[in-house]
Structures are given as structure tokens and as C-alpha cells.
Structure 1
Amino acid sequence: MANRLLMVDPARLRDLRAQAGLDARQLAEMVGTTTRMIEYWEAGRHTPEAQNLKRLAHALGCTVAALTGRRPGTETLADLRFAAGLSTERAAAILREDELGKELFVSATKLRDLERGRTLRGWRWRDPWHTGRLVRRLADLYGVPCRVVLDAWLRSRPNDQAPAMPDPGRKPPSAASLSRWGALNDRQRIYLGEIMRDDRMTEAEMWIRRAHHLPVPPASQWRKLPFALRAPADLVGYTRLQERLRARGVHDPGAGPTLHALSRSGLVSVSEDQVDLPGLGSIPRVVVELTRTGRAAARAGLDEPRDPGAPQHLLSEWLWRTILRIVDAGSDGLSENFLAGKAPFYLAVGYKPAPEGHASRGFIEFVPVMSEDGTHVREYRWHLTELGRRHVLEYAHQYRTIYPKLDTVPSGDGTSDMG
């Protein structure tokens, strides 16, 4: 389906100018055009070019999407180019400076055809490896993440094969992390390693709680691991970390100096809080938290490769879990009440994680359910968008690999089972 170029809503432009307290002459001076052209734009007789559209948004203190009425999570390739303030001629000229642009024989005409979903001549334009490279290059050119360009590409060209995006490889430890590990003595290395293992165990426990829809405290709380209670062990026992260190033969009166040595090196943070115990009242408790530097040093020393995480174009585990819940809901969709928290801001059409941030992925949307007599909306339910269904079918096999604990949908043609 061909995509129209962006159109500015004349009424919205007039309203935004009024809200900014500007008359047509003042706005024209800020944009670098004539008063008559502003009047033409506000009358709908002309549409601003990409460069003027970006200047117009800047002058009015709004986004390009605010002028065009484009809902977050529905952006096309043309939207991204206009938001960057680039004409097809200028964008093509920049792309031709690179080897990729020369290989693809990029031109303004080809960019317009790309944005409108038209057929492009040349086998490289049909090769996922080459189009994947172009997605990454356009992300640099437009100043947005690769995932934003990929999503816009699939909206603009829904019948094309998806561009091939690279998987992150396992990263070797950095020299700095190896150096920090090398500066520790044997005892400190054991402590750091056990703290990392306890951190991972706690993370797994939090994952299980989420899977069973139980309350989960913020990571800033549960990553503070109980190390010791300032009370006799025969009354309060040992913490899990103490038991692990006792099993390694290094839990003794030297625990305090060891912890503080790790803290001075920036590998852990040590603090105290209070915990209420039945019959004993409030007891001071020492807690430790592994820093990012400490985690990297422990992985380096224990020969554990750094986790590359999900590829840029894929979702984090908790967002993928949200998608699976909607898939599991089937054609009825997921009730509004069962999807709370921040997930919609990252996934839903019309949402953004932050006012100045990039739009959501646009994988899910609210769909109204009408009453039986059709007089009013009874409720709203979450469903996958076309792009959301495409994403699930396209990348389910990769999600199986990176999130093996999560049940995922079968590959192949399963759109009828996905909302």
C-alpha cells in the first residue's frame, strides 16, 4: 500500500501558533519563510517541506508528529525523514557518500519509492542483508535507534521480507575488568563471586514472582542483598550469603574488612538498614549491592562472557512476556485491567516512554468492545497490531533462544491465533 507524504493539519498548526503566542509574521521570521507561506500552510493550500517542517516544529516548541497528527507507534519511513528535516534529495546525497549508498545506487526517486512501498529495481534492494545495512545507516542519518527504523520500514513495506538485523555476539571481558579482578586477593575474589551468584539467584526469584503475578519490589530494593544481621547468630541465624561463604571457608571476623575493601574498589556498595524480627524487635542489617563495575569484574575473573542482551530490534524479557500474554488471550484480547505498569508506554500505539523520548514500538493497541445493542463502548481490550503480529511471527525463533524460560508462540502462520 502506497504511503502519502506527510501532511500538516492546518487547524492544528493554527492552534499551536496561537498557543505559542506568535502571529504569522513572527512565526515566518523564526522559520525563515514568508508570512504568505505561513498563511498558505494554515489554509491547507501548501504543505511544508521537510526542512521547513522541522524548523516549524522547533519554532512552535513541539514535535513534527504534533503538526502532522501522527500517533506515536505508527511512524513510517517518511515520518522519520521529515522529523530529521531532510528532503529525499539531501538524504540521498548523504547516503551516496558511503559504500552502501553507492552499491544500492541510492537516489531521491528510490527513497521516495522506498517510503511509498513501491517496487525498487536492483537485487540488493530485495536482499535482507543489504536492507539490514540500510536500516542501520538510516538510523544514524535520522538520529534514531535501529528498532525505530526497522519498525517504520515494516509499516511502510509490509509485503517485503524483513531486513536482516545482526545478533549481538558474546563480548570478551574488557581489559579494565580483568585488571580489577587481578588486583583482588583470593579472599576478595571469593566474596565478589558469591555476591554475584546471590544476586543472580535473587533475580531468578523475582522472575518467578513475576511469572506467578506476585508483587515484585523495585530492583533498587531487591538488589540490596542481606549480608549480616547485627545480632548473635544463635538468635538470628545466618543469611544466605553468609552460608555460602561459610561453605567456602572464608566467613570469619575478617568479613567486614573484605567487604569494605571491595567497596573502596567500587565493586560493591555496603549499607545498613533495619529489619523487624519477631521477639527481637528492630535489628540492624548489613546489605551489599553489586555495582555494574563489580559485576563486570566478577564475570571477567570467573571467565563468564558478558551477556550481550537482546539484539537492538528485539524486546526485553518483560516486554516480550507482555506480548505473550496478549497472544495467549487470543481473539478476545487482553482486558485493560490485566496490563498495568509501564509496558504500554513501550509497546502501545499512542504512547511514549517519556515526553522527549522515542515513540513506542506500536505492537499493541486498545480495541473498543461495544455493548450488545451497539450504543456504547462496554470496555477496551488489548490486541496486537499488524506490526505486532508481524514481529511475533518474524522473530519468535530468536526469542526462544534468548529467553528459553518463556513459553513462546509457534513459528509459521499463526496470525489467526494472535488477536
Structure 2
Amino acid sequence: MNTTTPTSAQRTWDELNARQRLYLSTIFEFDQAAETDIKRRSAKRMSVPPAAEWRQVTYDIDLPKKAAGYSSVQLAVRQRGEHDPGSGATLAALRRRKLITVTYDQVHVPPIGMVDRTRVRLTTAGRAAARHGAGHTAPATPPAGLMTRWSLLALARLYAAGEHGLCNETTPDRADEAPSWNTLLRLRDRRDGSLIDTFVADWPDQHRRMLRQHRVRASALGRRHFEIHRACYLELFGDLADELPDADPAEGAHTGLADHRRPRPKHLVRDTDLRVLLALAELQDTGRCYLREELTRDFQHWDDEVPGWVTEIPDGLTRWQVKNLTRTEKSIDRLTAHPGGPLITQVEVYASAHNWQAGITTPMVVLTDTGRTHLRDHLADYHRANPELPFPPER
């Protein structure tokens, strides 16, 4: 059960007394400041610690306050009219409600040595309650297929940079610096294909000398994603209007998030199942099969004649390839049991060039004639529902 919905967060906040709200809100402010700093460092390609560490907020160091002063959290609480007596009970109450975790450890303070330290960290429920108390709306959750705010900003910069892209190396020109590598990996490793292209080009440095430079730009798929969904992102993240460049008109471009809420027509298969059908159709059109090609290379490597059973392996995908494509094997069962007839079938083939005589086989997923007919008859409907996916040409 999700305990961080707005209703749950509001109920939790309402149950707190004024002192507990003050402490939770103050911790939240330092949590958000740390998050902002981490994002800034990540954008500059600086190393960052794991969230379990940087979200820890130092509440107290066990030293005389007249000598060492108060922690930032304690000072903020005092400036708002609350003082330390009873703070232990307040933290304990927040911890019992599972709004914070409290860690007791030691830290070295020269020249004194090791002293006791108390650190606090907001839980997900605690952050939601504090966000509600501050009047902030919860971070918008993008519909399936859309990106997070951080990834969107990175793609928008690459889109605006055009074919020349941005520098994927350390550069003094901040305007030409690409997003962090971690962010680029999220754009690269999308299920439907990479939204970026990396390339090497001659580029002038600050002294106008031409140097070979690694650069990155939005791929054709990335540009199409931005053009199709720009209106959706503006609705989702309205405060980013000034940071999203204008997009070229695109066929099938969405007008807003309502396009993501339209029910799928009953005669169309799920998006994940469609990806399998499209991949199988492309393999048939190009006469490709990964397993067949691997087995052929294995036999040729040992200067052995390629057996006939290898060349007879049909164009298709192994089950693990389907799972990599859809993150589940359930698509195979659904497509096999399609009401209009099986859209795919499975064929047992030998799995190894070395011990095939032992009879070890693996199932190969293949598009049926019914599956190809289904794609052909409903191609226009699928294209309207999924304008980003690579569709085969109509025949």
C-alpha cells in the first residue's frame, strides 16, 4: 500500500503537534538543500555519495554549546522560537511515526577527538508529510514512456544544440558542456532505443585550435520523442516553459497528457506485446536471427561445415531476448493466446554448436502469418497510439 499519497501525507501532518511540525519542516529544508547541492554536483560531473549518506542531516554533536555552538538544524529551530529541552522526545515521536530515522555515531573533532553525534534522515513518508505542510505539491510522476524532470532538461539541451551537440569532455565552456554521464546513460538506455548519439568531431578550443573532441547530441529517436511529447512535458512541468526549446512539428505529436490516458482499443495488443511483434517483423523483413548468426560464426571459427539445421533456424528471438525487450516473458503467453489466433509461435532449435548432438534445445519465438496479418491490418491504429515506435513500411 502506498503510504505517501496526498491523503496520507495530509492526515499525518494534521496529527502532529506544533513542535513536531516545526522539527519535521526544518529537517525537510536541510534535506532539500542537500538534494539541490547533489544535483548541482552531478551536473558538473563531480562524484556524489549515495543518497543514504547525503540525506543524513546532522542534528547534534555532543559538545558544550557555549564552546562549539549549535548545529545548523538546532540553530534554525531556536531562531523559530523553540529551544533544545524536549528535543529528544520530539525526535523520538517522529521516529515512532516512521517519519524520520535517527542514527547515533561518533565523529572526530580536532583537537578533542571522537565525540558523539546524532543524525536524522527523512523517510519517504516524512518527506511527503513535510512537503504537504510546506504547501508543496508532490513531485509529478510522469506517465509511462515519459521521462523525469532531470532527464527531460538534459534532452532539451541536446535538442536545442542541434547536430553539433554538446561537448562530452571536460571543457571551460559551460554552455557547451554536456549533461552528466549518469544522466546521459539514462537517455541512452531507454527501452525503445537510445535518445542520444555520441560522436567524435574536430572542434575549436578556447585558442581556436582544432582538436578531436567527444561530443553527444540528440538522436533521431530523441528528437522525435521531444517533438511528440513537448506539450505533455509542459503540462507536467509547467515551470520549465522557459527551458524547453520550441520543437519542430511532428506527425502524431501529442497535445497534452490526455493523449496518454486514452484507453487502448480492444483489437490492439499491449504496448509491450507490440514491441515483440515489431521486432519479429523487422527480423523477418531483414532475414536476421541472432542465434543463427552466432551458431554460424561458431562453426566457421572451428573451420567446420555449417550444418543444415543452423541455416533452417527461422528468423526470430530467443526467450531471453524477449525478456530483455519487454522485461517480462508474459508477452509470449499473451501473444500465443491472442483471441484472433496465435500471433507468435515457439520453435525448438538446437542451442549450441558444441553439444548439439546431445539434443539440448531452446525455444525460438517466431512471428506467425496471423501475427503479420494483424500488424498489417492495424498498422495505422498502432501508429496513432504509439507514434514513437519504429514501424515497418506498409506493404
| Structure number having the greater strand percentage | 2
- More contact order relative to length (CA 8 Å, sep ≥ 6): 1
